[in-house]
Amino acid sequence: MNIYTSLFLILAALSLSEWSLAFKSHELSIREATVQDLQKAFKQNQLTSRQLVEFYIKEINKLNPVLKGIIEVNPDALCQAEQADQEREVKSPRSLSGLHGIPILLKDNIATKDKLNTTSGSLALLGSVVPRDAGVVMKLRNAGAIILGKASLSEWANFRTLTAPNGWSARGGQGKNPYVLSADPCGSSSGSAIAVAANLVAVSLGTETGGSIICPASFNAVVGIKPTVGLTSRAGVIPISPRQDTIGTNMIRAENGELQRVSQDWDGYPYAGLYQMLFMFLMPFIKCIPHGGYTQFLKTDGLKGKRLGIVRNLFFTFANESLLPQTFEYHFQTFRYFKHPPQINAHDSSSFSESHSVNIFPHMLVQSLRPYSGTSLAQKGAVLVDSLEIANIDVIMNFNLSGEATALLAEFKLSLNAYLKELVDSPVRSLADIIAFNQKFSDLVIDATKIAQWMTNTSRVGELMMENRLDALVTAGPCVASVLAIGGFPGISVHAAYNSKGVPVGICFGGLKGSEPKLIEIAYSFDQATKSWKPPTFQP
């Protein structure tokens, strides 16, 4: 199927009738509804979970043959929706979780003990039987969430080969960016971001070892939250590295602290021996979980008083892009003043507009970056510490030189074998398969020198933040993901701009371990001030 055939199919699907709901407070299409919007509709008896699941399944049937963001739909999703509707009729709304009756999409490396497969996109694991739900799935079910299905991904979470394109797997095919179908959707949690961006689901779970949430979020214009390693449970997730693996979320806007609260949990995955020791260092982060959850940090003035470090070297270089540098300078003004400075329409220099973000339409150019005059807005936003340098950034960003490759490959061998041994049944669980795997990777042992270099690189990033008393590092796009990954640091990617081809570009806020509350305040405040998100256009 060529790209123009794909575009035709998308346009044909979109021309079909769209189901919209008239909420009492305002008109809002389900396509753009957040979890909070959906819960409001439930409470006002304007929507049922069954209707919502039916809508998503129809959208999946129309769009997924082209986008390939979803690898499998749960055959029991409608039954779960009906159960949620029945519970809502007999229970007090206050007794129900904020995720009750909400469909959730899971990356296909997160185990579910149901009719869905868990394969990491690999045909080799098709038909394997997991012993139990993953830890986060147990918590989601207990919260009353509906498991809608499994999202596609880069096969083996981008660990099958470094040469395969992002978003491709043998099971799911090639996932496509809903903004520009020929563009990179990034990976490995590509389907989790594609599905949310295309409004095939309101929220999804992904996993990240080294950029797999942050990068797809940036490329597909969704909000991606990569938590501190160890803050969310990884029990029952097909692993790569216990030092770097983490589970996070994707959504259209930074408004769902409930999902973060539900998914948080110390691991407790029954890896034997070595891994029990590795998990011990995660236990202190239980203290980082705030009482009352994360919703309390959704503050429109969350930028106020924050210290943000701008790391320009490598992260704010935009080849052949004239507007992106201006757009991000424009966003820096937002950090300082809570809102965008005035904007000038290039076709009418006398007219000002604050209704659109820069770089959403080609004719909108920033021609005034002057700070606001007067004192009413002065010093109300964040303090920017500009042009920071991360020591040895070239080494940190090099997968091999940093020691990250050696560490991940060694841990992948051990942790994958541990996962396979726990499966109730699997086509690749035979002794011959395990021996063949071990022989193929027998040379993968942890190099102490490489690990020492890896940990040194990690500490330098933390030192930079502490020396400058930073609440967050700020970078454009997803490249900082490697820096966050090797340190186990959290990060949030929020939509910021579109490049000259219409491909989304995110802005990433990274922090020290356990700094999710501050990052959520910053990301939410920025998101509310800019409101630059636009629905996908399915360009060829």
Please state the domain extents for the chain.
30-298
The enclosing H or E element of 200 equals none
**How far, in Å, CA of 203 to CA of 348, rounded?**
40
CATH topology classification for 30-298 = Amidase signature (AS) enzymes (3.90.1300)
pLDDT at position 22:
47
Residues 310-335: what's their mean pLDDT?
A: 91
The enclosing H or E element of 334 equals helix 323-337
Tokens of 527: 């998101």
- Please give the full DSSP string across 220-273, using - where no structure is assigned: TT-EEEEPPTTTB--TTBPPS-TTT-EEEEEESSS--HHHHHHHB--------T
Residue ranges in 423-478 assigned as alpha helix (H):
431-440, 448-467
Q: How confident is the model at residue 356 (pLDDT cuts 50, 70, 90)?
A: very low
- Are 195 and 188 in contact, with CB atoms under 8 Å apart? no
Structure confidence by residue, pLDDT tens digits, 458-468: 557 888 999 99
Q: Angle at which helices 448-467 and 404-422 pack, to 10 degrees?
A: 110
pLDDT at 51 exceeding the cut of 90? yes
User: Which of 51-65, 328-342, 350-364, 483-497 bottoms out in mean pLDDT, i.e. has the lowest?
Assistant: 350-364
Residues 479-500: what's their mean pLDDT?
A: 93
Sign (positive or negative) of CA dihedral 391, 245, 250, 306: negative
**What are the catalytic residues?**
107, 188, 212
Residues 385-411: what's their mean pLDDT?
A: 84
pLDDT at position 311:
94
pLDDT at 77 exceeding the cut of 70? yes
pLDDT at position 270:
34
Residue with tokens 């979470």: 157
Sign (positive or negative) of CA dihedral 413, 419, 421, 426: negative
The enclosing H or E element of 133 equals none
How many other CB atoms sit within 10 Å of the CB of residue 377?
Answer: 15
pLDDT at position 393:
84
**How far, in Å, CA of 213 to CA of 263, rounded?**
15
Q: What's the chain's Rg over C-alpha atoms?
A: 23
pLDDT at position 287:
65
Greater model confidence, 376 or 333:
333
Residue with tokens 């996932």: 175
Q: What is the pTM of this model?
A: 0.85
Residues 56-77: what's their mean pLDDT?
A: 98
Mean pLDDT over each residue of the chain, to the nearest integer: 81
Nearest Cα residue to 199 out of 3, 25, 57: 57
Residues 136-148: what's their mean pLDDT?
A: 94
- Are 129 and 173 in contact, with CB atoms under 8 Å apart? no
Cβ contacts of residue 127 below 8 Å, gap of 6+? 117, 425, 426, 427
Number of C-alpha atoms within 13 angstroms, CB side, residue 434? 13
pLDDT at position 261:
62
pLDDT at position 263:
63
Number of C-alpha atoms within 13 angstroms, CB side, residue 415? 24
pLDDT at position 21:
52
- Are 255 and 99 in contact, with CB atoms under 8 Å apart? no
pLDDT at position 464:
92
Q: CB-based burial of residue 182 (10 Å sphere; 0-12 exposed, 13-18 middle, 19+ buried)?
A: middle
Nearest Cα residue to 422 out of 437, 434, 407: 434
pLDDT at position 160:
79
